[in-house]
Structure 1
């Protein structure tokens, strides 16, 4: 856990606010503060897109004297594909005709001067989870928002969360009119398991602490 008086790295926090992406500034800061206050141990993010949320976590990681590990296949979620609401033609690799967010992600991390604290893994989250061994202090789930993939992320990564560690889930909307329901359903599943107690979140960001006995 961070020592009293440790504060977020302000340069990285500013870079996160200015970076391209979808996370509101108040939710991003809440994410960073929660990571800063988490127990000692690794911070891991599932789903990095162009690096906005990664930079919020990096602001905490640098202040803690640690790193943030982020895993993403960088081919985009369903909503980023052609014909979907969040499709950006500028992110399509002209040679392959596929979404590729890795170049934009790398530019954002480099421009912010965060390459020393960000460890980027290009892989499917569930495949990397099978190789991961260290107990996590902080786990942020913000990958693809289909039910199948959200449930898979929850099932593959939460076993790695240490007792007392924090699980953060983004885009949790109880009302379907506000957004997709997959993140809400994994949030409810985690909470109803009895393994977590809820912390104060912000907007669509939910924070759960794993119970010591779970």
Structure 2
């Protein structure tokens, strides 16, 4: 039987702001639960309002490790005013810019998972440049331009531990199926072509890959 998140966590996931459907969330949780057995942290790139963070936190709690989540909380390109995925409730009325950090904190608090998550607030490449520890899982779900998705891969994939997992969201092989660009798909192909990762599963737009060869630095 596949591992499942706590019912309270799953209910909080369903209620949280975000764009990950339930079946992909359950696949993410299963991957995080498996990776957690390595005894190393689980890391997410692209927090937004914390919908998927809840699942990583639940898995981290069960494994006795920490979940880390990286985001500048000013929103990706497709979440800015004028775009289909813009949510005006996430705009700071004082400065007129998006700020998803307060919503994220409320999401964690309501689910009782604050103590299991370390929020790294800043731009992914800057934080990755300072990081020097192995990770059991890296979940890439940040910006959808080639520049940002590529930088997330370059910055964080090398830190996936042997037998650890690289998970990529919004992988759309067919151009007509995409909603914000195919950069995550190109990152997915890049990971496979590197020879360092082997695909484990595909659920909707979620791809799970395992590190099967050392990272080339």
Q: What's the TM-score once normalised by structure 1's chain length?
A: 0.94
Return the offset for 1:57. Answer: 0.9
The equivalent residue for 2:170 is 171
- For the structure 1 residues 213 and 130, does the alpha-carbon distance in structure 2 shift closer, same or farther, using more than 3 Å as the test? closer
Return the offset for 1:160. Answer: 1.0
Asked if 1:210 is matched to 2:211, the reply is yes
CA contact (8 A) 2:4 2:29 kept: no
- For the structure 1 residues 125 and 213, does the alpha-carbon distance in structure 2 shift closer, same or farther, using more than 3 Å as the test? closer
5+ unaligned residues in a row in structure 1: which ranges?
A: none
- For the structure 1 residues 161 and 37, does the alpha-carbon distance in structure 2 shift closer, same or farther, using more than 3 Å as the test? same
CA contact (8 A) 1:198 1:207 kept: yes
The equivalent residue for 2:64 is 65
1:34 and 1:58 map into 2 onto residues whose CA distance is: 13
1:61 and 1:23 map into 2 onto residues whose CA distance is: 19
Return the offset for 1:125. Answer: 0.7
Give the number of the structure whose residues are more often helix, by fraction.
2
> What is the count of residue pairs matched by the alignment?
211
Return the offset for 1:42. Answer: 0.8
CA contact (8 A) 1:151 1:186 kept: yes
Give SS of 1:164's match: strand
Q: What's the TM-score once normalised by structure 2's chain length?
A: 0.93
- For the structure 1 residues 184 and 5, does the alpha-carbon distance in structure 2 shift closer, same or farther, using more than 3 Å as the test? closer
CA RMSD in angstroms, aligned pairs only: 1.6
Give SS of 1:96's match: coil
5+ unaligned residues in a row in structure 2: which ranges?
A: none
Matches within 5 A, 1:77-88: 77-88=76-87
Return the offset for 1:27. Answer: 0.3
Give SS of 2:115's match: coil
2:22 and 2:3 map into 1 onto residues whose CA distance is: 20
